[in-house]
Amino acid sequence: MAEIVSLPDAVADLVHDGDVVALEGFTHLIPVAAGQEIIRQRRRDLTLVRMTPDIVYDQMIGAGCARKLIFSWGGNPGVGSLHRFRDAVQHAWPVPLELEEHSHAGMANRYVAGASGLPFAVLRGYRGTDLPAHTATIKPITCPFTGEQLVAVPALNPDVTIVHAQRADRAGNVQMWGITGVQKEAVLAARRSLVTVEEVVAELEPRPGAVVLPTWAVTRVAEVPRGAHPSYAQDYYERDNDYYQAWDPISRDRDAFTRWLDEHVFAGAASPQPAVSAGGGPGASTPTNAGSTS
Protein backbone atom coordinates (compact mmCIF):
# COMPACT_ATOMS: atom_id res chain seq x y z
CA MET A 1 0.00 0.00 0.00
CA ALA A 2 1.27 3.47 -0.87
CA GLU A 3 2.42 5.62 2.01
CA ILE A 4 1.47 9.31 1.86
CA VAL A 5 4.51 11.43 2.78
CA SER A 6 6.09 14.80 2.01
CA LEU A 7 7.95 15.29 -1.25
CA PRO A 8 11.37 15.71 0.41
CA ASP A 9 10.83 12.54 2.44
CA ALA A 10 9.66 10.62 -0.61
CA VAL A 11 12.71 11.63 -2.66
CA ALA A 12 15.05 10.95 0.27
CA ASP A 13 13.52 7.48 0.73
CA LEU A 14 13.26 6.39 -2.87
CA VAL A 15 15.95 8.07 -4.97
CA HIS A 16 19.57 7.10 -4.37
CA ASP A 17 22.80 8.11 -6.09
CA GLY A 18 23.42 5.89 -9.09
CA ASP A 19 19.77 4.88 -9.51
CA VAL A 20 17.94 4.49 -12.78
CA VAL A 21 15.19 7.10 -12.46
CA ALA A 22 12.28 7.76 -14.80
CA LEU A 23 10.15 10.90 -14.58
CA GLU A 24 7.30 10.47 -17.03
CA GLY A 25 4.45 12.68 -18.21
CA PHE A 26 3.81 13.36 -21.89
CA THR A 27 3.55 17.18 -22.17
CA HIS A 28 0.81 16.92 -19.53
CA LEU A 29 1.42 16.10 -15.84
CA ILE A 30 5.21 16.34 -15.89
CA PRO A 31 6.55 15.81 -12.34
CA VAL A 32 8.66 18.98 -12.32
CA ALA A 33 8.56 19.64 -8.58
CA ALA A 34 9.88 16.15 -7.89
CA GLY A 35 12.71 16.64 -10.38
CA GLN A 36 13.70 19.88 -8.66
CA GLU A 37 13.60 18.13 -5.29
CA ILE A 38 16.10 15.59 -6.69
CA ILE A 39 18.35 18.52 -7.66
CA ARG A 40 17.92 20.02 -4.20
CA GLN A 41 18.93 16.74 -2.57
CA ARG A 42 22.00 16.77 -4.85
CA ARG A 43 21.61 13.26 -6.24
CA ARG A 44 24.47 12.20 -8.52
CA ASP A 45 25.25 9.61 -11.20
CA LEU A 46 21.62 9.01 -12.03
CA THR A 47 20.62 7.27 -15.22
CA LEU A 48 17.69 9.42 -16.23
CA VAL A 49 14.98 7.85 -18.37
CA ARG A 50 12.29 9.78 -20.16
CA MET A 51 10.67 9.67 -23.59
CA THR A 52 10.61 13.44 -23.90
CA PRO A 53 13.30 15.07 -21.73
CA ASP A 54 12.33 18.70 -21.60
CA ILE A 55 12.86 21.56 -19.17
CA VAL A 56 12.98 19.54 -15.95
CA TYR A 57 15.59 17.17 -17.38
CA ASP A 58 17.53 20.15 -18.76
CA GLN A 59 17.59 21.43 -15.18
CA MET A 60 18.61 18.08 -13.69
CA ILE A 61 21.31 17.53 -16.32
CA GLY A 62 22.61 21.07 -15.89
CA ALA A 63 22.71 20.56 -12.12
CA GLY A 64 24.93 17.54 -12.59
CA CYS A 65 22.53 14.85 -11.37
CA ALA A 66 22.86 12.58 -14.41
CA ARG A 67 25.58 10.46 -15.94
CA LYS A 68 23.36 8.92 -18.60
CA LEU A 69 20.13 9.70 -20.44
CA ILE A 70 17.82 7.13 -22.03
CA PHE A 71 15.36 8.98 -24.24
CA SER A 72 13.67 9.42 -27.60
CA TRP A 73 13.15 13.16 -28.01
CA GLY A 74 14.90 15.95 -26.13
CA GLY A 75 13.73 19.48 -26.70
CA ASN A 76 11.94 22.49 -25.32
CA PRO A 77 8.50 21.89 -26.85
CA GLY A 78 7.34 24.80 -28.96
CA VAL A 79 10.57 26.71 -28.32
CA GLY A 80 13.66 24.86 -29.49
CA SER A 81 16.60 23.05 -28.01
CA LEU A 82 17.59 22.05 -24.50
CA HIS A 83 20.79 23.98 -24.00
CA ARG A 84 21.94 22.30 -20.78
CA PHE A 85 21.40 18.92 -22.48
CA ARG A 86 23.39 20.11 -25.52
CA ASP A 87 26.14 21.54 -23.35
CA ALA A 88 26.45 18.19 -21.56
CA VAL A 89 26.52 16.21 -24.81
CA GLN A 90 28.74 18.57 -26.78
CA HIS A 91 31.03 19.86 -23.98
CA ALA A 92 30.60 17.46 -21.04
CA TRP A 93 29.45 20.31 -18.78
CA PRO A 94 29.10 19.99 -15.85
CA VAL A 95 29.77 16.25 -16.32
CA PRO A 96 29.75 14.00 -19.37
CA LEU A 97 26.38 12.64 -20.38
CA GLU A 98 26.13 9.24 -21.99
CA LEU A 99 23.18 8.80 -24.36
CA GLU A 100 21.03 5.78 -25.08
CA GLU A 101 18.75 6.88 -27.84
CA HIS A 102 15.53 5.32 -29.10
CA SER A 103 12.36 6.23 -30.93
CA HIS A 104 9.12 6.91 -29.06
CA ALA A 105 7.72 3.57 -30.21
CA GLY A 106 10.79 1.81 -28.87
CA MET A 107 10.72 3.60 -25.52
CA ALA A 108 7.00 3.02 -25.09
CA ASN A 109 7.47 -0.67 -25.77
CA ARG A 110 10.43 -0.88 -23.41
CA TYR A 111 8.15 0.37 -20.63
CA VAL A 112 5.42 -2.06 -21.72
CA ALA A 113 7.87 -4.95 -21.45
CA GLY A 114 8.98 -3.67 -18.07
CA ALA A 115 5.40 -3.41 -16.83
CA SER A 116 4.65 -6.88 -18.18
CA GLY A 117 7.51 -8.66 -16.47
CA LEU A 118 9.04 -9.56 -19.82
CA PRO A 119 12.73 -9.09 -20.66
CA PHE A 120 12.03 -7.54 -24.06
CA ALA A 121 9.42 -6.19 -26.46
CA VAL A 122 9.03 -6.62 -30.20
CA LEU A 123 8.17 -3.92 -32.68
CA ARG A 124 8.30 -3.05 -36.34
CA GLY A 125 10.68 -0.20 -35.78
CA TYR A 126 14.04 1.42 -36.53
CA ARG A 127 14.31 -0.30 -39.90
CA GLY A 128 16.74 1.43 -42.19
CA THR A 129 17.58 4.12 -39.66
CA ASP A 130 21.02 4.88 -38.22
CA LEU A 131 19.79 4.36 -34.65
CA PRO A 132 20.69 0.64 -34.30
CA ALA A 133 24.32 1.43 -35.20
CA HIS A 134 24.59 3.70 -32.15
CA THR A 135 22.22 2.05 -29.68
CA ALA A 136 23.17 -1.36 -28.28
CA THR A 137 19.67 -1.94 -26.96
CA ILE A 138 18.15 -2.50 -30.40
CA LYS A 139 18.51 -6.04 -31.75
CA PRO A 140 16.95 -8.10 -34.51
CA ILE A 141 14.52 -10.88 -33.67
CA THR A 142 12.90 -13.42 -35.98
CA CYS A 143 9.25 -14.43 -35.84
CA PRO A 144 9.19 -18.18 -35.12
CA PHE A 145 6.03 -18.58 -37.22
CA THR A 146 6.61 -16.43 -40.31
CA GLY A 147 10.38 -15.99 -40.35
CA GLU A 148 9.94 -12.23 -40.59
CA GLN A 149 12.70 -10.20 -38.98
CA LEU A 150 11.60 -7.58 -36.49
CA VAL A 151 13.26 -5.55 -33.77
CA ALA A 152 13.57 -6.33 -30.07
CA VAL A 153 14.23 -3.78 -27.34
CA PRO A 154 14.96 -4.68 -23.72
CA ALA A 155 12.56 -3.95 -20.89
CA LEU A 156 12.99 -0.75 -18.93
CA ASN A 157 12.73 -1.41 -15.21
CA PRO A 158 13.73 1.81 -13.44
CA ASP A 159 14.75 1.70 -9.81
CA VAL A 160 12.25 4.52 -9.32
CA THR A 161 9.55 5.99 -11.50
CA ILE A 162 8.04 9.35 -10.61
CA VAL A 163 4.82 10.65 -12.16
CA HIS A 164 2.36 13.40 -11.34
CA ALA A 165 -1.40 12.89 -11.14
CA GLN A 166 -4.44 14.97 -10.37
CA ARG A 167 -5.59 13.08 -7.29
CA ALA A 168 -5.08 10.37 -4.76
CA ASP A 169 -7.41 9.21 -2.04
CA ARG A 170 -6.28 8.76 1.56
CA ALA A 171 -5.59 5.09 0.97
CA GLY A 172 -3.10 6.06 -1.74
CA ASN A 173 -5.13 5.08 -4.80
CA VAL A 174 -4.11 7.42 -7.62
CA GLN A 175 -6.30 8.90 -10.36
CA MET A 176 -5.17 10.80 -13.45
CA TRP A 177 -7.02 11.84 -16.58
CA GLY A 178 -6.54 13.66 -19.85
CA ILE A 179 -3.37 12.66 -21.68
CA THR A 180 -1.92 9.92 -19.50
CA GLY A 181 0.93 8.98 -21.80
CA VAL A 182 3.10 6.12 -20.66
CA GLN A 183 2.71 6.78 -16.94
CA LYS A 184 0.92 3.57 -15.99
CA GLU A 185 3.56 1.48 -17.74
CA ALA A 186 6.41 3.50 -16.25
CA VAL A 187 5.07 3.07 -12.71
CA LEU A 188 4.35 -0.65 -13.14
CA ALA A 189 7.79 -1.22 -14.69
CA ALA A 190 9.63 0.31 -11.73
CA ARG A 191 10.92 -1.29 -8.56
CA ARG A 192 9.71 1.72 -6.55
CA SER A 193 7.36 4.54 -7.46
CA LEU A 194 6.37 7.99 -6.34
CA VAL A 195 3.25 9.79 -7.47
CA THR A 196 2.98 13.49 -6.71
CA VAL A 197 -0.62 14.69 -6.81
CA GLU A 198 -2.45 17.98 -6.98
CA GLU A 199 -4.58 16.97 -4.02
CA VAL A 200 -5.44 14.13 -1.70
CA VAL A 201 -9.20 13.71 -1.54
CA ALA A 202 -11.57 11.60 0.52
CA GLU A 203 -12.92 9.69 -2.44
CA LEU A 204 -11.98 9.31 -6.11
CA GLU A 205 -15.08 9.98 -8.15
CA PRO A 206 -15.09 8.02 -11.40
CA ARG A 207 -14.27 10.29 -14.34
CA PRO A 208 -14.25 9.78 -18.10
CA GLY A 209 -10.85 8.79 -19.35
CA ALA A 210 -9.38 8.33 -15.89
CA VAL A 211 -6.55 5.91 -15.23
CA VAL A 212 -6.49 4.56 -11.69
CA LEU A 213 -3.38 3.10 -10.11
CA PRO A 214 -4.38 1.04 -7.08
CA THR A 215 -2.52 1.90 -3.90
CA TRP A 216 -0.84 -1.51 -3.79
CA ALA A 217 0.90 -0.73 -7.09
CA VAL A 218 2.47 2.52 -5.81
CA THR A 219 5.21 3.01 -3.19
CA ARG A 220 4.75 6.63 -2.10
CA VAL A 221 2.27 9.44 -2.73
CA ALA A 222 3.10 13.10 -2.00
CA GLU A 223 0.67 16.00 -2.21
CA VAL A 224 2.35 18.71 -4.30
CA PRO A 225 -0.09 21.32 -5.60
CA ARG A 226 1.11 22.74 -8.94
CA GLY A 227 3.74 20.00 -8.93
CA ALA A 228 3.57 19.76 -12.72
CA HIS A 229 4.13 23.46 -13.37
CA PRO A 230 5.18 24.74 -15.96
CA SER A 231 3.45 21.80 -17.67
CA TYR A 232 -0.25 21.51 -16.97
CA ALA A 233 -2.67 19.44 -14.94
CA GLN A 234 -5.95 19.11 -16.77
CA ASP A 235 -8.84 20.72 -14.84
CA TYR A 236 -6.33 22.29 -12.40
CA TYR A 237 -4.13 24.70 -14.36
CA GLU A 238 -2.97 25.49 -17.86
CA ARG A 239 0.43 25.09 -19.41
CA ASP A 240 2.68 28.08 -18.60
CA ASN A 241 3.94 28.76 -22.10
CA ASP A 242 5.85 31.84 -20.97
CA TYR A 243 7.97 29.71 -18.67
CA TYR A 244 9.03 27.52 -21.61
CA GLN A 245 9.96 30.64 -23.60
CA ALA A 246 11.78 32.23 -20.68
CA TRP A 247 13.75 29.07 -20.05
CA ASP A 248 15.57 29.46 -23.35
CA PRO A 249 17.87 32.40 -22.45
CA ILE A 250 18.47 31.10 -18.92
CA SER A 251 19.53 27.72 -20.20
CA ARG A 252 21.73 29.09 -22.97
CA ASP A 253 24.18 30.55 -20.47
CA ARG A 254 26.02 28.57 -17.80
CA ASP A 255 26.17 31.51 -15.41
CA ALA A 256 22.55 32.45 -15.86
CA PHE A 257 21.62 28.83 -15.30
CA THR A 258 23.80 28.53 -12.18
CA ARG A 259 22.26 31.68 -10.78
CA TRP A 260 18.79 30.40 -11.50
CA LEU A 261 19.62 27.13 -9.78
CA ASP A 262 20.90 28.89 -6.66
CA GLU A 263 18.04 31.34 -6.47
CA HIS A 264 15.14 29.14 -7.46
CA VAL A 265 16.03 25.62 -6.43
CA PHE A 266 18.72 25.52 -3.73
CA ALA A 267 17.66 28.68 -1.92
CA GLY A 268 14.23 27.17 -1.48
CA ALA A 269 15.36 24.15 0.53
CA ALA A 270 13.38 25.24 3.55
CA SER A 271 10.11 25.86 1.77
CA PRO A 272 8.36 23.00 0.08
CA GLN A 273 8.11 23.99 -3.60
CA PRO A 274 10.26 27.06 -4.12
CA ALA A 275 10.76 26.74 -7.85
CA VAL A 276 7.09 26.34 -8.52
CA SER A 277 5.91 29.88 -8.50
CA ALA A 278 2.28 30.62 -9.19
CA GLY A 279 3.34 33.24 -11.70
CA GLY A 280 4.41 32.90 -15.28
CA GLY A 281 8.09 32.10 -15.35
CA PRO A 282 10.97 30.18 -13.89
CA GLY A 283 11.56 33.01 -11.43
CA ALA A 284 10.31 36.49 -10.66
CA SER A 285 13.49 38.12 -11.90
CA THR A 286 13.32 36.33 -15.23
CA PRO A 287 12.19 38.26 -18.26
CA THR A 288 9.30 36.41 -19.80
CA ASN A 289 9.32 38.27 -23.07
CA ALA A 290 9.50 35.40 -25.51
CA GLY A 291 10.35 37.73 -28.33
CA SER A 292 13.77 38.36 -26.85
CA THR A 293 14.83 34.75 -27.14
CA SER A 294 14.99 34.43 -30.91
Partner 1 sequence: MSQSASVPATPATPATPATPATRPDSASAAAAAESTANSTVAWTADEMMSIAAARALRGGMSCFVGIGLPSTAANLARRTHAPDLVLIYESGCLGAKPDRLPLSIGDGVLAETADAVVSVPEVFNYWLQPGRIDVGFLGAAQLDRFGNINTTVIGSDYADPAVRLPGAGGAPEIATSCREVFVVVRQSRRTFVEQVDFVTSVGHGRGPGDRARLGLPGAGPVLVITDLGVFRPDPDTRELTLTELHPGVELDQVRAATGWELAVAADLARTPAPTDQELIALRALTKAGS
User: What residues numbered 62-91 form the site for partner 1, per CB under 8 A?
Assistant: 71-82, 85-86, 89-90
Whether 168 and 221 have beta carbons less than 8 Å apart is answered as: yes
Give whichever of 33 and 168 is closer to a copy of itself, judged by the CB atom.
Answer: 168
Q: Residue 155 has what DSSP assignment? A: P
Give whichever of 64 and 178 is closer to a copy of itself, judged by the CB atom.
Answer: 178
Q: Interaction with a copy of itself in 144-183: which residues (CB under 8 A)?
A: 144-146, 148, 150, 152, 154
The reply to whether 209 sits near a copy of itself by the rule CB under 8 A is yes
- Kind plus residue range of the DSSP H or E element containing 61: helix 55-62
From candidates 31, 62, 178, 230, binder to partner 1 by CB under 8 A: 178
* Shortest distance, position 265 Cβ to partner 1, whole Å: 24
Whether 23 and 50 have beta carbons less than 8 Å apart is answered as: yes
Q: Taking CB within 5 to 8 Å according to partner kind, which of partner 1, a copy of itself, none is near residue 224?
A: none
Whether 39 and 228 have beta carbons less than 8 Å apart is answered as: no
DSSP E strand stretches across 20-92: 20-23, 46-50, 66-71
Residues 6 or more apart whose Cβ sits within 8 Å of residue 262 = none
From candidates 1, 92, 118, 269, binder to a copy of itself by CB under 8 A: 118
The reply to whether 200 sits near partner 1 by the rule CB under 8 A is no
Give whichever of 144 and 291 is closer to partner 1, judged by the CB atom.
Answer: 291
* Shortest distance, position 111 Cβ to partner 1, whole Å: 7
Q: Interaction with a copy of itself in 125-144: which residues (CB under 8 A)?
A: 137, 139-141, 143-144
Whether 80 and 249 have beta carbons less than 8 Å apart is answered as: no
Burial class of residue 130, CB neighbours in 10 A (0-12, 13-18, 19+): exposed
The reply to whether 288 sits near partner 1 by the rule CB under 8 A is no
The reply to whether 201 sits near a copy of itself by the rule CB under 8 A is no
The reply to whether 291 sits near a copy of itself by the rule CB under 8 A is no
Q: How far apart are CA 66 and CA 180, in angstroms?
A: 25
The closest of 23, 20, 19, 65 to 40, measured between CA atoms, is 65
Contact positions toward a copy of itself, by CB under 8 A?
117-124, 137, 139-141, 143-146, 148, 150, 152, 154, 206-210
